[in-house]
Chain A
Amino acid sequence: MIESLPLLSLITFLPLVGVLFILTIPRAADTNARWVALWVSLATFALSLTLWFQFDRTTADFQFVEYIPWIEDYNISYHMGVDGISVLFVLLSTFLIPICILASWTAITSRLREYMIAFLVLETLMVGMFCALDLFVFYVFFEAVLIPMFLIIGIWGGENRVYASFKFFLYTLAGSVLMLIAVLAMYLAAGTSSIPDLMAFNFPTGWQIWMWLAFFASFAVKVPMWPVHTWLPDAHVQAPTAGSVILAGVLLKMGGYGFLRFSLPIFPYASDYFIPLVFGLSVVAVIYTSLVALAQKDMKKLIAYSSVAHMGFVTLGIFTMNLQGIQGSILQMISHGLVSGALFLCVGVLYDRLHTKEISRFGGLVHIMPMYAFFFMIFTMASIGLPGTSGFSGEFLILTGAFKANTTVTFLAAIGVVLGAAYMLWLYKRVIFGKLEKADLKQMPDLSVREITVFVPLAILVFWIGIYPNDFLEIMEPSVSNLIDNYHLAMHSYNTPQLAGL
């Protein structure tokens, strides 16, 4: 029942067309693969912008829906659609991929074709995952994302890449196995795999607890929440720059998205029941990882730990169960995708020049790389959450919402804001300020045109979300409101029979 162009499928599978092209390129003309990948990803991004312009901002319904019965006997279908929550993640993914490809332009020299293929496949899988409205389709995409990422770290990573990629794989797989069981159980219980139908289905409360936990295992690893976060620093340190960008930019968001798409709407009772658990883990993540970030000697590890802290805010916000908290969380996820991506790119710029990420190897870069210092400052401030940048909009809304839910938790999380400034400013000081003394640093050129092209759009978005976040809040508002209303409705129905019994 496709009435118009199957837009979502086009966006999802367009990158695969690029893959086919790249496969026809002979190995001798390897560098052409870059151009193909760049053009295809730009075309995909341009296509996805139609979503932004044509999206109906007044409804919470799924839009651009495609529905093709797939395995009819088992009621499984190819079902795609986006609402105000997922559309932003689709756009984030399509926006970051061209940036990743540009960032890898000169850094990657071996197996270039395969590298570009990995990124394009990754894009297909990510977009498909965010658009999927069928539980099985979702699960396939969700798990398949692991594969290209595993390869990107394992093949193009640093010295210790094999350990890091297996750690990454093991952690995420452990979560996924539990999730698979829950997925099957849900399907058997409800007799359908359609996500909108499952949202309407009323699971018994006892079931909800177990299935919530199974999903939680998978999402918590992806976010990552404390204490299952230790794969992230290793994965980031070993991953190539663009791998880190996409890992921090999109892959971590899969966990947060999962909570919003599954845990909250399908298991409202369990979500409510586990609020204290999530709050506790979030606050520990915020403070614990901020302190750990202070002690880091490797730039990428520092930013990786800061990601865990920032994602702690996200999980906190989601489970406040109010509009400010959840809108803030989504905004924070988008913002973190841009800012931490940009920060990893900043590290990459230095790594490309000096092949080290050790903080103590740098110092005084402002003298020779003023442009670099300028962009790095913007993203540092956004990471700190300076008002007027995207980091503030998200954090502020989350904490505003969280304060209504629990003052103690907010109080503790706000400490993380202070610590966040400490580790970022200290990093900036050690890398950028001071005397330029080391001989090899003196030869480093400032940003090239390509690098500036990478940073400018990120900076623009950071300020856009900081100064006028309403564009983003508006698009998600109906869906988030709807989510919260349904949650309260469900909670109400759980509470009323008991009252009636009294």
Chain B
Amino acid sequence: MFVEAVFLPLISSLIAGFFGKTLGDRTTNFISCAILILAAIMSCFIFMDVALAGNSTVVELLPWMTSGTLEFSWALKFDTLSAVMVFVVLVVSSCVHVYSVGYMHHDKSQPRFMSYLGLFTFAMLMLVTADNLVQMFFGWEGVGLASYLLIGFWYEKESANKAAMKAFLVNRVGDFGFSLGIFAIFMLFGTVQLSEIFAQASVMENTMFTFLGMEAHAMTVICFLLFIGAMGKSAQLGLHTWLPDAMEGPTPVSALIHAATMVTAGVFMVTRMSPLFEFAPDVLTFITFIGATTAFFAASVGLTQNDIKRVIAYSTCSQLGYMFFAIGVSAYSAAIFHLFTHAFFKALLFLGAGSVIHAMSNEQDMRNMGGIWRKIPFTYACMWIGSLALAGIPLFAGYYSKDMILEAAYAAHHSPMHYYAFVLGIISAAMTAFYSWRLIFLTFHGTPRASKKVMSHVHESPPVMTIPLGVLMIGAVFSGFVGYDVFVGHDRLEFWADSIFVLASHDVIEEAHHVAWYIKKLPLLVSLLGIGLAYLMYIKKPSLPGKTAQTLKPLYNVSYNKWYFDEIYDALIVRPLMMAGRFLWRIFDVLIIDGLGPNGMMRISKNIAGTLSRLQTGYVYHYAFVMLVGLVIFISYLFYRILV
């Protein structure tokens, strides 16, 4: 069952990819969805068997590479952490598969879409079940490829192609760190096998090694490099620029890859490597800083975006920041808990947004929406539930996980950055609530701003789209409540077993349960304030947003232009590199190397030959004259020898 669950999506992908055209859209869709649902059912059993009953296992498939002491296999590791991930990935993926049947109904290359989705799901499963770092890297780059293909799915759109490339390349920068981390681990531990690395982790705590010519604390360097990888994949500040652009892809892709699963791979990876990160306190502090800053940054940008998908994208970026600062204060289980609940409600929000876009004839700009909630009540309900869960309103999923993270950040006195994280986390929570309801109010309420033609077409989506929404809705409501005890409550130690490692001095979950009541209520309070403010600005006094933007012009611009990251990168990195390329080619290769080398040689030998050939005039008397001169010299020489 373990192997089947992982490889079924690949089979679906191959069938859809190679035989999709022959089988026709309907059959392909049916086969793909059936396979994925089967795999999702398997994942439920795996979850029960591995996570709840505690039967973790490793399935060896095939040796991969053997080079001296470097030896690793294709193998699937199932412990609680990977079982949680497999469950999330397959449930969300199967929902997205089914949803896509409706959403992509008009698209001419639906089998290709199904094939890519299957490929993605397979790569993601390989990533989360990896038992060695190289296989994790395989999945890591595999999801990158699938993401690249899916963002650029509509390849006639120039913007989609650019976004796809950008996603791949920014991720490559992260992978650069990840791969160096793997090399460093192999050098230090002599293995890339997770279990063997973890067994040696505590021994290596104080090891030093030479890196880039400097003597450095090995664990710090390794974890820092690995975290660079996580930053790329999980769109953390600095390497986040690809995520908003990735919204060029079809909406189901955004839900599956850029909200629920792939972007959380960084969170997963750092959690998986917790036995190392625990011994690198400086890196944990850095993670706390980056996570909290990202949470704040992305929320601040989300306030002013007008594209419905971009708002949710920044929201994802921000929530990933929460997960990371939870990791930074060693609350790994809280991070994974939030990953778990977030997957449901964020996928719900995205698919809900997709349903809106579908209803509005592919309109994505919220300025052209409004007043449609009566026409699409189910979608409207989805967006409410998703937003309630995101804002952390009691009884909804986010309430349990997000509050847990904030409480952990507050209680983590061992971490120097924890108050920073807590304060930014609270501010971001207020902003989160604000932009979520801004989205709801702009999209669904007020007077319709779309054209009559569009408005007359507004319709609720077909059941093939609403049923997956319903499944995710259940998750968005109940996953927090149901999961609380096992993920972060009483049963957490038994549940996680040895899949997460936390130093005794870093264990903040227990303390987080005992923080003062007003700390526990604070996130709720600021969320309600945010919702209230959104109500005031977008329902009560619709003139207010424009005025606020006017009075806070500079701040508004910074937020609206996403803190100018793209412009800065373009000026500092992209353009200089292109210029360097042209310079090295035209000046160095052509002028200097060729000029001095072969062409120079040719010129010199031509000149010499030219000079020499001038001697060959062809006139007999010239030659005779030269002979005469030679003869005179020769005879003179002979005389000289005889006389002297």
Contact = CB atoms under 8 A, between A and B. Distances in A.
Question: Main secondary structure on chain A at its contact with chain B?
Answer: helix
A421 B176 CA distance: 11
Given A323-B68, A411-B212, A417-B176, A468 B168 contact: no
Contacts of A397: 65, 67, 70
Interface stretch (B333-341, B388-396, B485-493, B591-599): B591-599
Contacts, number: 145
Interface stretch (B154-162, B415-423, B503-511): B154-162
A397 B67 CA distance: 8
A396 interface: yes
A426 B165 contact: yes
Contacts of A291: 577, 580-581, 584
Sort chain B's interface into a size bin: 35 or more
A230 B598 contact: yes
Contacts of B168: 421, 425
Sort chain A's interface into a size bin: 35 or more
A418 interface: yes
Interface in B34-86: 62-68, 70, 74
A399 B134 CA distance: 13
Interface string B610-621: 000000000000
Contacts of B384: none
Contacts of A296: 585
A292 B584 CA distance: 6
Contacts of A417: 172, 175-176, 179
B578 interface: yes
B321 interface: no
Given A397-B67, A403-B180, A295 B578 contact: yes
A136 B601 CA distance: 29
B598 A410 contact: no
Contact of B180 (A227, A393, A410, A422): A410
B582 interface: yes
A323 B169 contact: no
Nearest to A423: B581
Nearest to B173: A418
A435 interface: yes
A155 to B, nearest CB: 20
Contact of B156 (A364, A396, A404): A364
A109 interface: no
Contacts of B74: 467
B145 interface: yes
A453 interface: no
A295 B574 CA distance: 12
B155 A404 contact: no
Interface stretch (B136-144, B275-283, B296-304): B136-144
B593 to A, nearest CB: 5
Nearest to B162: A429
B183 interface: yes
A292 B165 contact: no
Interface in A372-386: 381, 386
Nearest to B585: A292
A129 B629 CA distance: 53
B152 interface: yes
B155 A366 contact: yes
A145 B106 CA distance: 57
A3 to B, nearest CB: 33
Interface of A: 167, 170-171, 227-228, 230-231, 288, 291-296, 322-324, 327-328, 364, 366-367, 381, 386-388, 393, 396-397, 399-400, 402-404, 407-408, 410-411, 414-415, 417-419, 421-422, 425-426, 429, 432-436, 467-470, 473-474, 477, 481
22 contacts: A288-B588, A294-B581, A295-B582, A327-B68, A364-B156, A386-B142, A387-B134, A387-B137, A397-B67, A400-B186, A407-B213, A414-B180, A415-B176, A417-B175, A418-B169, A418-B173, A421-B172, A467-B74, A468-B63, A469-B65, A470-B63, A473-B67
